[in-house]
Amino acid sequence: MSTEAPERQKFTIGKNPGRSRAHNRRVVLDLLRSHGQLGRKQIADMTRLTTQAVANIIDELLAENLLVDMGRLRSGRGQPPVQFAINPDGAITIGFEISVSHLVTTVLDLHGQIREQASVALTDTGPAALIPRIVAEVAAIRLRFPAALLGVGVVMPGPFEIEGLSGVGPTTLPGWAGIDATAQLAAQIGVPVVIENDANAAAVGESLFGAGQGLSDFCMIYFGGGIGLGMIHDSQPIRGAFGNAGEIGHIVSAPGGRPCACGQSGCLERYASLDALRERLGPAATGDLPVLLAQEHPAMLEWLAEASAHLAPVVTMLENILDPETVILGGELPDALIDALIARLTLGTSVANRRNRPLPRVIRARTGHRIAALGAAALPFFDTIVPKLDTGVGLSAPQRSAAHD
């Protein structure tokens, strides 16, 4: 539990040495994104940068059309300060979510608002079909949105490049092993490209736009076809050495249990995933899931009981290992099912058992069932806007550093 007074807030501080200029740009952009509009001195006070350093950054961002001059603030005595704000039309990011059945394309503006989103069914999820399709779609979007393109994010189910796991099954995408899709796409599109697993992308999206806003450490259990884990630590995603951190779907939760496509038996994914729910529902799987829940369909209630029993110890394990502020459940499951699942969790004792918690131990995501698609577009947005160095805690207008730019 935080012991800080309510009027104190966490924000990212700047680095005055010139070698940190890229960080300082992100600090200024992130501050303006969260506060709306500010003057130079306000930005300098809040980031602990010199006024000259802030002026240089603002001039640079204005020249790049990423900021707009809002005019002078008409309040108080003396010469009113000029206010600056992010220009939502100054740049876009594009995200693609590839699943076993569909491709979702999302366009975000510099405010993080969705400008366009579309979903199309897929019959071929291999790289030979999808890489040219993504390149063509980016070209078409750039014609519709002439703003600068900051980057492209692509998300798909993991795990990536794993020996010993078959990689073939209802929740994975075969054919991508050994393909340097990042390099191929970046070379053809001409902007930075990041490829991420769907759970990590969902956590980034939730951090920027959902229940994770303002949280520096949280876990997100993501329900796609399978089940994955996205982790945010110190406001940054934990990716692991090979991009596979959080692959909880293939943790064995029932030794000797149901066979899994990965080659093991009793994986968590076989009990607590959307695919497991559809398998249990059988012919009723084509029905409206919230309606089946409201009707108390026996197979739905059986899945909820089984899924919650397998998830509860996983949540407790995550709390003990990572000590998150909260665990967020989200993804393709409808909100009503996630709420029903959370209500049935019987959580054991862990380091999360603290009095006066600011958040419950488990909460529902707020970004909707297309959270991975949003996260795909949020990845380059995150890399451009969100600072990656020190954070500071202070009053709303702390004294700026005496250091010079």
Burial of 65 (C-beta count, 10 Å sphere; 0-12/13-18/19+): middle
CB-based contacts of 108: which residues, under 8 Å, 6+ apart?
Answer: 92, 93, 94, 95, 114, 115, 374, 377, 378, 381
Are 196 and 243 within 8 A, CB to CB?
yes
CA distance 180 to 176: 8
Q: What's the confidence (pLDDT) of residue 79? A: 66
Cα(108)–Cα(201) distance, integer angstroms = 14
Contact between 98 and 156 (Cβ < 8 Å): yes
pLDDT digits (tens, 9 = 90+) for 227-248: 999 999 988 889 888 777 888 9
> What's the pLDDT at 291?
95
β-sheet bridge partners, residue 68: 85
| pLDDT, position 336 | 96
Residue-averaged pLDDT of the chain: 84
Q: Give the residues of the chain that fall short of pLDDT 50.
A: 1-9, 18-19, 162-171, 389-405
CA 196/CA 25 separation, integer angstroms:
24
- Short-list 246, 194, 186, 244, CA closest to 379: 194
Maximum Cα interatomic distance, the chain, rounded to a whole number of Å: 76
Q: Quick one: pLDDT at residue 388?
A: 63
**Residue 350 carries which side chain, given as an amino acid letter?**
S
- State yes or no: cis peptide before 398, omega within 30 of 0: no
Place of tokens 């407790």: 316
Task: Report pLDDT digits (tens) over 166-181.
Answer: 343 444 667 777 778 8
State residue 399's pLDDT score.
34
pLDDT at 15: 55
Check residue 9 and give its pLDDT: 47
Question: In residues, how long is the chain?
Answer: 405
- Would you state the pLDDT for residue 293? 96
The values of phi and psi at residue 210, to 5°, are -125, -140
- φ, ψ of residue 103 in degrees (nearest 5): -120, 120
Contact 398, 48 (CB under 8 A): yes
CB atoms within 10 A of CB 185: 24
Distance CA 165, CA 264 (A): 8
pLDDT for the residue numbered 5: 35
Q: For residue 115, what pLDDT is reported?
A: 94
Which pLDDT value is given to residue 23? 84
Full-model pTM: 0.80
Q: How far apart are CA 365 and CA 208, in angstroms?
A: 12
The token duo for 156 is 């798909």
